[in-house]
Amino acid sequence: MKTRGWLARVRPFSLGIAAALCLVAGRAGAADEGEFRVGLLVDLNGSYSHITGQGSVVAARLAIDDFGGQILGKPIRLLYADHENNPATAARLAGEWIAGGARVIADVAGSPTALAVQEVIRHRDVVAFYNSVMTPALTGRQCAANGIHWMYDGYAYNQVIGGEITRLGAKRWYLLVVDNQFGHDIERSLSAVIQANGGTVLGSVRHARGEENLFAKLRQAAQSGAEVIGLVNAGTDMIASVRQAFDLLGVSKGKTVLAAVATAVNDVHAMQPQLAQGLRLTHSFYWNQDADARVWSRRFYDKAGAMPSDLQAGVYSALTHYFKAVAAAGSDRSAAVVAKMREIPIRDPIVRNGRLRRDGRMVHDIYLLQVKKPGEIREPWDYLKILRTIPGDSAFRPLEEGNCPLVAGGGN
């Protein structure tokens, strides 16, 4: 992404990795009462960097700019750092930032890193937003009063990708699964959704994260007689799966459906749309879904040199709503801010029909999409078409089924 020049121009409000680390390490416990600090934990160099990374920094900066650059009479300073997809690193950075005066932490790409940060913030007077996270545990048994799950969600995405495709008539599935906790969890839940909707999982095959040659395993899936090959992986693994699957005759001819549980528009750009045509996927936001989304996304593109993923857009949405709640509450105390976030409407260019529940889940519309054929693409990044819009109440796990200690006694 073309962010280097832009980030340099806004340096008074954002810090590079080394500067951010020096600042929080050197001033741990010594909050500067003259500024309002926002921390952004992202994957800057790993397999998810193209869907979070510098683009999330751009989105955060847009949210700060659109709010006027200050709140409660203080200038807003953005800190960001690479958590290196390491839970211990993410937890350490979060703790240092909180000690240094950060009032909110956002993005926190990856389920293991998010769960680690959740434990750090659980008993602290700070709010954390999780955008690039699939595990629903954040709003289940491991929920926290100040932990907010904003965009991605494995339960909801499985309901849409598994349930909708199966109900549309493609009932025989075979799964290609990354061999880690994310893959195992999603395989179980996706299989349950497929079966609950009248489908059958014929089998599954696992691959190591970063495994380069996946064709033999994809061929095994195709030879099973499956109508759908479900890709239970993400990032560069998912991109490699789609590229290599196009060499399968059934996939390239459109007879076998590819369905991916964790994608972003940036993935489609990287894998080349002609190799991904027909791929089914789920998003919480698409840059060209309507006029409001398009206007905001063009602004993002001017800064980042790429269209936003739904995860990057979610950073803007989460911080915008947070700033509104702080202003409405007249306080940055986490309990008051979270209460106000549940009270005021969620209205921005990103989220449609959103509401914040007591378990920390932001419920919103989810989209089932399909990658267009090359002849259907009318402009750069115009890769997707929305097949169905699924209301949040139909997609997300019901409140009472999550076993979040915060919701004992019922209610929203």
Q: Residue ranges of the alpha helices (H) in 139-290? A: 154-158, 165-167, 181-196, 215-223, 235-245, 249-252, 265-271, 273-276
Q: Bridge-partner residues for 36, per DSSP?
A: 76
Give the mean pLDDT of 218-233: 96
**83 is written with which tokens?**
């958590």
In the predicted model, is pLDDT for residue 15 greater than 60?
Answer: no
Contact between 181 and 150 (Cβ < 8 Å): no
Q: Region 331-354: what's the mean pLDDT?
A: 97
CB atoms within 10 A of CB 3: 17
Q: How confident is the model at residue 383 (pLDDT cuts 50, 70, 90)?
A: very high
Percentage of the residues of the chain whose pLDDT score is greater than 90: 80
The token pair at 392 is 């949040």
Rounded to a whole number of angstroms, the distance between the first and last alpha carbons of the chain is 40
pLDDT attached to residue 238: 94
pTM, two decimals, is 0.89
Work out the pLDDT band at 87, boundaries 50, 70, 90: very high
Mean pLDDT computed over 317-329: 98
Total H helices, total E strands in the chain: 17, 16
At 32, is the pLDDT very low, low, confident or very high (cuts 50, 70, 90)? low
Please tell me the predicted confidence (pLDDT) of residue 22: 36
Name the segment(s) of the chain with CATH classification 3.40.50.2300.
4-152+289-364, 155-285+366-392
Mean pLDDT of 120-132: 96
CA–CA separation, 270 and 309 (whole Å): 12
pLDDT at 409: 55
Residue 181 is predicted with a pLDDT of: 79
Q: What is the pLDDT of residue 180?
A: 87
- Measured CA to CA, the distance from residue 190 to residue 176 in angstroms comes to 12
Q: What is the mean pLDDT of the chain?
A: 90
Please count the other Cβ atoms lying within 10 Å of the Cβ belonging to residue 382: 15
Between strands 147-149 and 127-130, the pairing is: parallel
CATH of 4-152+289-364, one of 3.40.50.2300, 3.40.50.880, 1.20.140.10, 1.10.645.10: 3.40.50.2300
Is residue 55 within 8 Å of residue 132, measured between CB atoms? no
Q: Cα 69 to the chain's mean position, in Å?
A: 25
| Residue with the larger pLDDT of the pair 24 and 86 | 86
Q: Examine the pLDDT at 26 and tell me if it is beyond 80.
A: no
Q: What is the pLDDT of residue 217?
A: 97
Q: What percent of the chain has pLDDT over 70?
A: 91
State the DSSP string of 382-407. Answer: --EEEEEEE-HHHHSPPGGGS--GGG
Supply the DSSP string of 136-162, one letter for each residue. GGGGTTT--TTEEE-S--HHHHHIIII
- Residues making up the chain, counted from first to last: 412
Cα–chain center distance at 110: 9
pLDDT-derived band at 130, boundaries 50, 70, 90:
very high
Fold of 155-285+366-392: Rossmann fold (3.40.50)
Phi, psi (deg, nearest 5) at residue 163: -70, -50
CA dihedral 395, 398, 399, 402 (to 10 degrees): -100
What SS3 class is residue 118? helix
Which residue reads 């190799």 in tokens?
Answer: 275
pLDDT at 7 over 50: no
Q: Hey, which residues does 173 pair with through a beta bridge?
A: 201, 228
- CA angle (373, 376, 377) in 5-degree steps: 95
| Residue partners of 51: CB distance under 8 A and separation at least 6 | 132, 235, 264, 266, 267, 309, 311, 312
- pLDDT, one tens digit per residue, over 343-370 is 999 999 999 999 999 999 999 999 999 9
3-state secondary structure of 29: coil
Instruction: Say which residues have a Cβ less than 8 Å from residue 364's Cβ, sequence separation at least 6.
Output: 284, 346, 351, 352, 353, 354, 355, 392
Whether 234 shows a pLDDT value over 90: the answer reads no
